Amino acid sequence: MYKILRDCQVKPMELFQLYLYLSPQMAMPHINLLTWNLPQLEAQLPWRYLTITMFSPLSTEYIVAFNGYFTAKARSHFISSALKSSEALDWRIVPRKNPASDFPSDFEVVQIRQASHSSLLTLEDHPYIKRVTPQRKVFLPDPGATCNNDTRWTQKWQSWQSSRPLRRTSLSLAFGFWHATGRHSSRRLLRAIPRHVAQILQADVLWQMGYTGSGVKVAVFDTGLSEKHPHFKNVKERTNWTNEKTLDDGLGHGTFVAGVIASMRECQGFAPDSELHIFRVFTNNQVSYTSWFLDAFNYAILKKIDVLNLSIGGPDFMDHPFVDKVWELTANRVIMVSAIGNDGPLYGTLNNPADQMDVIGVGGIDFEDNIARFSSRGMTTWELPGGYGRVKPDIVTYGSGVRGSGMKEGCRSLSGTSVASPVVAGAVTLLVSTVLNRELVNPASMKQALIASARRLPGVNMFEQGHGKLDLIRAYQILNSYKPQASLSPSYIDLTECPYMWPYCSQPIYYGGMPTIVNVTILNGMGVTGRILDKPIWQPYLPQNGDHIDVAVSYSPVLWPWAGYLAVSISVAKKAASWEGIAQGHVMVTVASPAGNNVGGEMTSTVKLPVKVKIVPTPPRSKRVLWDQYHNLRYPPGYFPRDNLRMKNDPLDWNGDHIHTNFRDMYQHLRSMGYFVEVLGAPITCFDASQYGTFMMVDSEEEYFPEEITKLRRDIDKGLSLIVFSDWYNTSVMRKVKFYDENTRQWWMPDTGGANVPALNDLISVWGMAFSDGLYEGDFTMADHDMYYASGCSIAKFPEDGIVIAKTLKDQGLEVLKQETAVVEGVPILGMYQTPSEGGGRIALYGDSNCIDDSHRQKGRESTCCVCQITCQSPNSCSVNSLLPTFLSFSIKQMERLC
Active site positions, annotated:
222, 253, 418
Which has the closest alpha carbon to 512: 583, 581, 577? 577
Question: Do strands 105-112 and 91-93 pair parallel, antiparallel, or not at all (unpaired)?
Answer: antiparallel
Residues 6+ apart with CB under 8 A from 193: 342, 374, 414, 415, 416
For the CA atoms of 121, 123, 127, 129, what is the dihedral angle to 10 degrees?
-120
Is residue 588 within 8 Å of residue 553, measured between CB atoms? Answer: no
Question: Which residues face 397 on adjacent strands?
Answer: 364
Is residue 278 within 8 Å of residue 225, measured between CB atoms? Answer: yes
Half-sphere exposure at residue 626, Cβ-oriented, CA atoms within 13 angstroms = 28
Q: How far is CA 307 from CA 196, 319, 446, 492, in A?
A: 22, 23, 11, 29
Mapped onto helix, strand or coil, the DSSP state of residue 774 is coil
d(CA 684, CA 702): 12
Helices (runs of H) and strands (runs of E) counted in the chain: 19, 40
d(CA 72, CA 93): 10
Neighbours of 283 (CB within 10 A): 21
Cα diameter, the chain: 85
d(CA 188, CA 165): 12
d(CA 420, CA 397): 6
Is residue 274 within 8 Å of residue 213, measured between CB atoms? Answer: yes
Is residue 453 within 8 Å of residue 474, measured between CB atoms? Answer: yes
Question: Which residues face 584 on adjacent strands?
Answer: 612
Is residue 607 within 8 Å of residue 488, measured between CB atoms? Answer: yes
Its sign, for the CA torsion 240, 242, 246, 250, is: negative
Instruction: Name the burial class of residue 210, with classes exposed (0-12), middle (13-18) and buried (19+) by CB atoms within 10 angstroms of its CB.
Output: exposed
Per-residue H/E/C for 120-131: HHHHHHCCCEEE
Half-sphere exposure at residue 778, Cβ-oriented, CA atoms within 13 angstroms = 24
For the CA atoms of 664, 670, 673, 676, what is the dihedral angle to 10 degrees?
-110
Per-residue H/E/C for 335-357: EEEEECCCCCCCCCCCCECCCCC
Mapped onto helix, strand or coil, the DSSP state of residue 680 is strand
Neighbours of 437 (CB within 10 A): 8
Which has the closest alpha carbon to 185: 658, 746, 649? 649
Residues 6+ apart with CB under 8 A from 379: 347, 348, 350, 388, 389, 390, 391, 392, 463, 658, 660, 661
Count of all residues that appear for the chain in the document: 899
Neighbours of 89 (CB within 10 A): 10
Alpha helices in 202-278 (DSSP H): 203-208, 253-262
- E-assigned strand segments in 164-300: 172-173, 188-189, 217-222, 235-240, 275-280
